Structure 1
Amino acid sequence: MNGLTLSPALGWPLGAAIAVAMAVLAVLTAVMHVKHRLRSDETLAACIRRTVLCLLVAVMALTPSIAAPTALRAVNTTDVVLAVDVTGSMAVEDAGYESAGGISRIDAAKQAVDGIAAAYPNSSFAALRFGVSGTLDVPLTPDTLAIRSWADTLSVEPTSLSTGSRLDAPIDQLLLTAKSIRAEHPQDAIVLYLITDGEQTSTKARRTYSSLRQYFDDAFTVGVGSTQGGKIPQTGTTPGASHEQSQWVMDPSTGQPGISAMNEKNLKDIADELSGRSVILSQGQSVASHVSDKVSRRWRVSDDAKRRERVTPIVWPFAIAAAALLTWELGAWIVMSRRSL
């Protein structure tokens, strides 16, 4: 059911201040007329006109609006696909993001996802994780809360399931996802963010990402971790299980804890294959400054399962009345000026 509400276009602090000031001015106008009516040439009509004009401005400052429930929302035609590495090396605590340092790579990836979601307001997102294989967790949705919630649940895959880091693991799922988005929204701008440490430990040669180039308008490889690297903690037998920091993944060739380091070359090579850019995250840096310049300027209206309230301002009747009173005031001033000559 529709309802009348107040929704100041200038915000409540400024809108309320203007409304109060104009209301006080209206009262003063009436009081001064009554107090000085015998010594002033102001007519009663002029007093009423000026008082009403002040009150109209006060009402417009508070912006009367009609609130109505709706399931429709305007969505920017930019689609952002997020692919996050969840291999065991992402548990290494040598990453940084903004003010945080010495955090795990997966935690830096989570913060990067949150930053990307904030950098593309009103856009749509799809999210997948990759380790042993690529898995689409969140199909394309304009719900940024769903993407942030997904990022919060990200954890590295168990050590027992690991078969070595394969940077080409998400290619097949990315192809399916991007092809589906392009078929459904052929005019959209599709941007890819591949968040990984760039490490490739599999003995198999990595497949090229160039097959994705036909579907993505822009792409970023986002590197987390450090080139110095760190020891890889063992993770539990189930995804998301905690790990003991005293237990490390051992290097069978040396019998010592294995060292995982971010590989900047792999990140740059993949970015080149995608005709995109490589971004290396560290303490003091974020993804906020790495927003695609191919963001769409177009919008579409889509249905949303989440019902929301649409607020429609109805200021125009008050504006017409105020304009009429101002015209009247101007005419009265011109007549009065000519009489004074």
Structure 2
Amino acid sequence: MNGVSFVPALGWIAGSVIAVLMVAFAVVGIVLHVRRGADGSDETLGSCIRRTAICLVVALMALTPSVVTKTTSRVTSATDVVIVSDITGSMGVEDAHYGSEQQISRLDAAKLAITDIVNAYPNSSFAALSTGASAAVDVPLTPDTGAVRNWADSLHTENSSNSAGSSLDVVIDPLLRTLKSIRDAHPDDRIVLYMVTDGEQTVSNTRRTFSSLRHYINDACVIGVGSTTGGKVPSSTAGQWVIDPSTGQPGVSIMDEGQIKALADELGGTALITSSTSTVANAQITKQAQQWRESDTQKERTRVNPVVWPLAILLVVLLAWEAGAWVAMSRRLL
């Protein structure tokens, strides 16, 4: 639908003032011509019409006539899934269950969870980060699901013998940069964050909140792997365990369900504790994944196109005519 409207380029105040002044000049010019005509003025009717037209054209240009056009554009909203996996030494503890009674390591349970996540989001893009003593972006945003699966298969735990303790918040800064870059590059996309961890934090420092990430995501899920019973942490040396320096005995790691739920709350998402019967594939979060898939929407936009150039051409012609008339009159006076 198209329409004509006035949208002053200089604003309504300045545009209106100029337009009123030009109309006033046109009226004054006509009045003076009528009065001078009775006294034998040499101003011709054509000159009066020309000068009046100049004033009226300038008034119209000040009001900036424009064509208003309404268009409908198609916007495709894709889904970007960001996956964070814990790779601290405690992820090697074999106390996890994932969809069966078989006891596996927490990291193996994380790998199965990542596979289910990828399967739940066809036609989506993925980014992946690993977090331990430090955090890094291992897979930049890509639609290549094979790259994410290869990344998951290659995950391994850090060397616990040299560990000074684990902190969950080391991933915040690189994760924040990743999410911000995705949002800036794809403002219409939906971003879903998945964190897979045992929730264990062994450093004494107070953990930073993850709430700063909420600005960049549409949904989040923190997936807990392990058990509240816990287990011994394997050392990098085969058949040996990480020794707890405070007791001199093999250290025992326990999944911190409270931390997992706190993380989910800070992210404004949900917590999923995996078990022999609870997995990503059969969880509510996977059912909700349907709403985050690619979707097409149509948005109506209004575009205003100023149409001043015909008036500008007319003004140039009138001014040239006026200049020619002045030159011709000057020669006659000489």
| Partner SS state of residue 214, structure 1 | helix
Give the alignment of 1:314-325 within 5 angstroms.
none
**1:181 alignment partner in structure 2:** 182
**1:228 alignment partner in structure 2:** 229
**2:204 alignment partner in structure 1:** 203
Q: Does 1:273 align with 2:266?
A: yes
Q: Does 1:248 align with 2:241?
A: yes
**1:77 alignment partner in structure 2:** 78
Q: Does 1:261 align with 2:262?
A: no
- Within 2, Cα distance between the matches of 1:100 and 1:215? 37
**1:298 alignment partner in structure 2:** 295
- Structure 1: which amino acid aligns with 2:94? E
- Structure 2: which amino acid aligns with 1:264? E
**1:142 alignment partner in structure 2:** 143
| Partner SS state of residue 130, structure 2 | strand
- Structure 1: which amino acid aligns with 2:120? A
Structure 1 vs Structure 2: percent identity of aligned residues? 56
- Structure 2: which amino acid aligns with 1:244? A
- Within 2, Cα distance between the matches of 1:299 and 1:267? 34
Off by >6 Å, runs of 4+ in structure 1: none
| Partner SS state of residue 215, structure 2 | coil
Equivalent pair of 2:124/2:294 in contact (CA under 8 Å)? no
Give the alignment of 1:1-341 within 5 angstroms.
77-99=78-100, 101-235=102-236, 243-245=237-239, 247-288=240-281, 289=283, 290-291=285-286, 292-293=288-289, 294-298=291-295
Deviations 1:182-204 (A, max 9, x none): 00000111000010000010111
Q: CA deviation at 1:255?
A: 1.2
Deviations 1:102-161 (A, max 9, x none): 100000001111110001111110001000111000000111111011100000011244
| Partner SS state of residue 221, structure 1 | strand
| Partner SS state of residue 103, structure 2 | strand
Q: Structure 2 regions of 5+ residues with no counterpart? A: 1-75, 298-334
Q: CA deviation at 1:163?
A: 2.1
Equivalent pair of 1:80/1:124 in contact (CA under 8 Å)? yes
- Within 2, Cα distance between the matches of 1:283 and 1:191? 25
Equivalent pair of 2:82/2:127 in contact (CA under 8 Å)? yes
Equivalent pair of 2:165/2:201 in contact (CA under 8 Å)? yes
Instruction: Give the RMSD, CA atoms, in angstroms.
Output: 1.6
Aligned residues: 218
Q: CA deviation at 1:173?
A: 0.9
| Partner SS state of residue 170, structure 1 | helix
Cα 1:224–1:151 change in 2 (3 A) is same
Equivalent pair of 1:76/1:123 in contact (CA under 8 Å)? no
- Structure 2: which amino acid aligns with 1:263? D
Equivalent pair of 1:94/1:226 in contact (CA under 8 Å)? yes
- Within 2, Cα distance between the matches of 1:82 and 1:257? 31
**2:34 alignment partner in structure 1:** none
- Within 1, Cα distance between the matches of 2:77 and 2:153? 25
More helix by share: 2
**Between Structure 1 and Structure 2, whose CA radius of gyration is higher?**
2
- Within 2, Cα distance between the matches of 1:268 and 1:208? 13
TM-score (norm 1): 0.62
Cα 1:104–1:207 change in 2 (3 A) is same
- Structure 2: which amino acid aligns with 1:281? T
